[in-house]
Amino acid sequence: MFFMHVINATDRLPTRGHAAKRLSILEAGARVFCREGYTGANIDMIAAEAGVSRQTVYNHYGDKDRLFAAVVTEITQRCNARSFEVLATFPDQPADLEDELIAFAMRLTQKCVCDEDGKYLRKLIQSEGERHPHLFAGWRTEGPGKVWSALAARFARLAYAGHLELDDPDVAARQFIALVNAELHIPALFGEKLENDQLREVTTRAVKTFLRAYRRNGKEGQETTRVSRALPA
Amino acid sequence: MFFMHVINATDRLPTRGHAAKRLSILEAGARVFCREGYTGANIDMIAAEAGVSRQTVYNHYGDKDRLFAAVVTEITQRCNARSFEVLATFPDQPADLEDELIAFAMRLTQKCVCDEDGKYLRKLIQSEGERHPHLFAGWRTEGPGKVWSALAARFARLAYAGHLELDDPDVAARQFIALVNAELHIPALFGEKLENDQLREVTTRAVKTFLRAYRRNGKEGQETTRVSRALPA
DNA sequence: GACATATTAGACAAGGCTGTCCAAAAATAT
DNA sequence: ATATTTTTGGACAGCCTTGTCTAATATGTC
């Protein structure tokens, strides 16, 4: 009962009491660490932004290091969970492949790349990744590692079903993500948000290019080996 | 590169030893700011790494803010210059389009994306871009803005010459860069370097995909408008 | 209401960092 | 060799931050 909070503060969303403060500190920590960097962030700021006294922060997380670690693992888990949620909506039996891939890509962007957590995670990794690689080792294997290969499996399935023609599903998956994110990098760096219409345009162009390269009969040159590995459910 | 001192905010023309220290401080500043973030960096560290006394740092740059600004503009200019150098080697009249695009993309990666300055710039922008947008406004317009449209013009030229078939050269340019960088992001975040062989593989896959999407006779669906805008020398 | 637990505000020491001042030493130019 | 400019090391005040401690207050349970 008491360990609940210790293990993971967000499996429930408490609105009062111990757990509520704990969560609110975590969220404020994410915002502040991300905005100011590890060294630039200070506990008073986090406490103020969490609507909590400084001492409470220390009561819950011991010290700055441990708070930071908690923030990182929390954000990481949240991002991964989101990614797999979206992944579950991949169009396995598409009626209109292009349309459905576009919709899928937009979900991916909105819920995993351009949302708050995604932004936080990118900034935290960028600023502290080299200094504390152990903190992000989990993210690397559980995050992109699994998400990408899961996405690759979905593409392999589409290829097996005759919708795509591809050499290496892993490469296709990475390229898909790269294309979809192609036009988001610069705005993301400066915290600018894309309107829904713009996002649709950008995504549409990305998916069209992807499909021109990988559609069943959009080939030319390059030997394409038929995929025939174990496919997931 | 030599004009730097003249252009730069402060002051009078430096003598020889003066200029050497000045540069060494700038480079050390880049390393330390990038490694530790703006707040995390301290002047003593920079002075030590520059092989200079702390007072000398203050003599040259006044205070931390102005040193940081100088570092940013220096790195920015260096990166832009590099980018245009590489851009000048774009294959305008390719004998073997794929091979030459691969070589070009590798130059781009090695000299602009994966080199020290590129890494520094990314980290600085990521960590301080939102807080000091004015510092990077110049980079945005002079850097990606001009590089991308210059690259787009080169692609348009290839299209005009019948090598490619593309809708919008600007989009193609961004997608080209996105594909080429697709597999570099994660390693870059953790400061890992790719071997030359791996880089070649990764780049080859990217260019192959790009060309499958945009080669003259690798089409299907999607109305492709012939480009006919003003072309640069 | 009584009790236990969480939370709060504030004070506090220890330490780090910035930016300044200064006098001596070194480098450079004349 | 001498005059001028730069550099150096050290000392310093002022400020901020972390993490601890304490006594008072709030919250929730029985």
In a domain, B175, yes or no: yes
Q: What is the pLDDT of residues B119-132, one digit of tens each?
A: 889 989 888 888 88
Q: In total, how many domains does chain A have?
A: 2
Based on the domain organization, do B106 and B57 belong to the same domain?
no
Based on the domain organization, do B106 and B190 belong to the same domain?
yes
Residue B154, strand partner residues? none
Task: Verify whether the Cβ–Cβ distance A129 to B39 is below 8 Å.
Answer: no
Chain A residues with beta carbon closer than 8 angstroms to that of B39: 36-37, 39-40
A201, A182 in Cβ contact below 8 A?
A: no
Based on the domain organization, do A124 and A206 belong to the same domain?
yes
Residue B206 makes CB contacts below 8 A (sequence gap 6+) with A175, B105, B179, B180, B182, B183
Residue A164, strand partner residues? A215
Q: What is the pLDDT of residues B81-112, one digit of tens each?
A: 999 999 999 999 999 999 999 999 999 999 99
Q: Which of A101, A211, A169 is nearest to B219 (CA)?
A: A211
Q: What is the pLDDT of residues A114-132, one digit of tens each?
A: 998 998 899 898 888 888 8
* DSSP3 helix / strand / coil % (chain A, rounded to 5): 70, 0, 30
Based on the domain organization, do B86 and B56 belong to the same domain?
no
Q: What is the pLDDT of residues A182-212, one digit of tens each?
A: 999 888 888 888 999 999 999 999 999 999 9
Based on the domain organization, do A113 and A171 belong to the same domain?
yes
Q: What are the counts of helices (DSSP H) followed by strands (DSSP E) for chain B?
A: 12, 0
Task: Tell me what the mean pLDDT of segment B124-143 comes to.
Answer: 88
Q: Which residues of chain A have pLDDT under 70?
A: 1-17, 217-233
The DSSP code for A215 is B
In a domain, B88, yes or no: yes
A102: CATH: 1.10.357.10
Residue B164, strand partner residues? B215
Contacts 24+ apart (CB under 8 A), B57-62: B57/B25, B60/B10, B60/B21, B60/B22, B60/B25, B61/B10, B61/B25, B62/B10
The DSSP code for A218 is -
| Per-residue confidence (pLDDT) for residue A222, from 0 to 100 | 37
| Per-residue confidence (pLDDT) for residue B98, from 0 to 100 | 97
| Per-residue confidence (pLDDT) for residue B217, from 0 to 100 | 66
Question: What is the b/e burial string over B72-102, where b = at least 16 CB atoms within 10 angstroms of the residue's CB?
Answer: bbbbbbbbbebbeebbeebbeeeeebbebbb
Based on the domain organization, do B233 and B120 belong to the same domain?
yes
A40: CATH: 1.10.10.60
Percentage above 90 pLDDT, chain B? 68
Compute the nearest-CA separation of A83 from chain B (Å).
17
Residue B232: pLDDT over 60: no
In a domain, B71, yes or no: no
Nearest to B212 among A126, A181, A220 (CB): A220
Conformational region of residue B37, where left means phi above 0, alpha means psi within -120 to 50, and beta covers everything else = left
| Per-residue confidence (pLDDT) for residue A16, from 0 to 100 | 62
Domain encompassing residue B171:
81-233
Based on the domain organization, do B119 and B58 belong to the same domain?
no
B90 touches A: beta carbon within 8 Å: no
Based on the domain organization, do A44 and A107 belong to the same domain?
no
Q: Which of B125, B151, B175 is best to mutate for the A interface (most A CBs within 10 A)?
A: B175
The DSSP code for B14 is P
Task: Verify whether the Cβ–Cβ distance B177 to A182 is below 8 Å.
Answer: yes
- Which residues of A spanning 53-112 put their CB closer than 7 angstroms to strand C? 53-56, 59-60
| Per-residue confidence (pLDDT) for residue B153, from 0 to 100 | 97
Nearest to B126 among A35, A127, A208 (CB): A127
Residue B114: pLDDT over 70: yes
Q: Is A117 helix (H, G, I), strand (E, B) or coil?
A: helix
Q: Residues 204 to 223 of B: which have CB under 8 A from any A CB?
A: 205-206, 208-215, 217-222
Q: CA distances (Å), B157 to each of A3, A26, B57, B143, in order?
A: 64, 52, 48, 21
Based on the domain organization, do A127 and A194 belong to the same domain?
yes
Helix axes A196-214, B196-214, angle to 10 degrees: 100
Task: Check whether residue B222 has its CB closer than 7 Å to nucleic acid strand D.
Answer: no
Asked if ipTM goes beyond 0.90, one says no
Q: Residue B139 CB: number of other CB atoms within 10 A?
A: 21
Based on the domain organization, do A215 and A108 belong to the same domain?
yes
In a domain, B176, yes or no: yes
In a domain, A107, yes or no: yes
